[in-house]
Amino acid sequence: MPYQIYHLIAFLVSALVVIWTTPLVKTIGIKSGKVDAPGDRKVHQRPMVRLGGISIFLGSLIALLTVWWSGGFGILPPEIEWEIWGVTLGGLAFFAIGLADDLFNLSPFVRLLLQIIFATLAWVMGVHIDFLSIPAIGLVQMGWLSLPITVIWLVGMANAINWIDGLDGLAAGVSGIAAVVMLIVTLFMQQSAAALIAAALAGGALAFLRYNFNPAQIFMGDGGAYYMGFTLAGVGVIGLVKGTAVTAVLLPYLILAVPIVDMSTVILTRLRKGKSPFLADKSHLHHRLLQAGLSHRLTVLFIYALTLWVGSLALAFAGIPSGIAYALAATSLLSYASWHVWRHARQS
């Protein structure tokens, strides 16, 4: 049986689990009163269950366990299989942090401290950035810097995905697109272990849109956002950053450029205004697009197009056959979406 079949199994199992369990999670959330009430920064107008991350996590976990049970891990070296469990267990820890915040409203300091601790444990389990390939310099070994750089990357991406989770379907769609691109790139680079995780995450994230796209029936909450952000970062570490080519090292940052740039811009904007970078406001890209007069759906679809565009650039840089054609097609789609954004902004 072709090994790629296991990636298809991971994708489909994760998607089916999410489709089946999300209504159950929603019912439990309503009965238990665990809902997100409307507020000043909230776009939704009615209380919403925000425990959908449970379904996404279960979908990914059950998918990977299914592949493991069916022998899909059998051809992997022990150290590579350990990396899969390192990302999976780290994702479990970050999901638990987010779920605890959804249920009990943890303080920002406690959340950050726990994230740093579990990111450090993931580093111990083999999820670490050992070197960087820098243009004009070459291969630079990280040495003791491997730990802080890896922790910053894992914690930063978990929070970046959580920060863009401000509109129906936004975080799930962006994460799903990024996971699909990572799946394609890691398969092309013969990083089968990382590709399995990407396939499971892609299936779960995209299936969740069945219930989360505008108008949403349920939110993923911090649990889902932290899990997807950490897992995407983890796939980038074990599947892409370990490559010695400069292009391979840059790929995860390019694929995840939209949440990275959004988070960086928001932090710099808040600091320039003399505010705490952790003080919530409406300076995110999706807030700015809404303020420009765009509809909820058009805002989300435009950011999807932007994510797909940077993902297509990653396909081209990775040397994937027809990668340039994909990049040109995505550029055309983004140009069309940008024209719609400009037209609606002018009319408002």
Q: Supply 177's token pair.
A: 């697109």
Q: Supply 84's token pair.
A: 């899969």
| Alpha helices in 216-295, H assignment, sequence order | 221-236, 246-255, 257-272, 285-291
Residues 79, 81: Cα–Cα separation, whole Å: 5
Q: 3-state class of 97 per DSSP?
A: helix
CA distances from 56 to 18, 97, 201, 205, 316 (A): 6, 15, 8, 6, 29
pTM: 0.93
pLDDT band at 158 (very low <50, low <70, confident <90, very high): very high
Q: Of 212, 223, 214, 221, which Cα lies nearest the Cα of 19?
A: 212
| Helix H or strand E encompassing 209 | helix 192-212
Which pLDDT tens digit goes with each residue over 250-261? 789 899 999 999
Of 142 and 79, more confident: 142
Residues 261, 226: Cα–Cα separation, whole Å: 18
| 8 A C-beta contact, residue 179 and residue 195 | no
Bridge partner list, 45: none
CA distances from 99 to 32, 44, 116, 211, 292 (A): 14, 20, 17, 19, 33
| 8 A C-beta contact, residue 260 and residue 178 | no
Half-sphere CA count of 29, side-chain side, radius 13 A: 27
Which pLDDT tens digit goes with each residue over 174-218? 999 999 999 999 999 888 889 999 999 999 999 999 999 999 999
**Residue 133's pLDDT is what?**
64
Which pLDDT tens digit goes with each residue over 263-314? 999 999 888 888 878 777 788 999 899 988 899 999 999 999 999 999 999 9
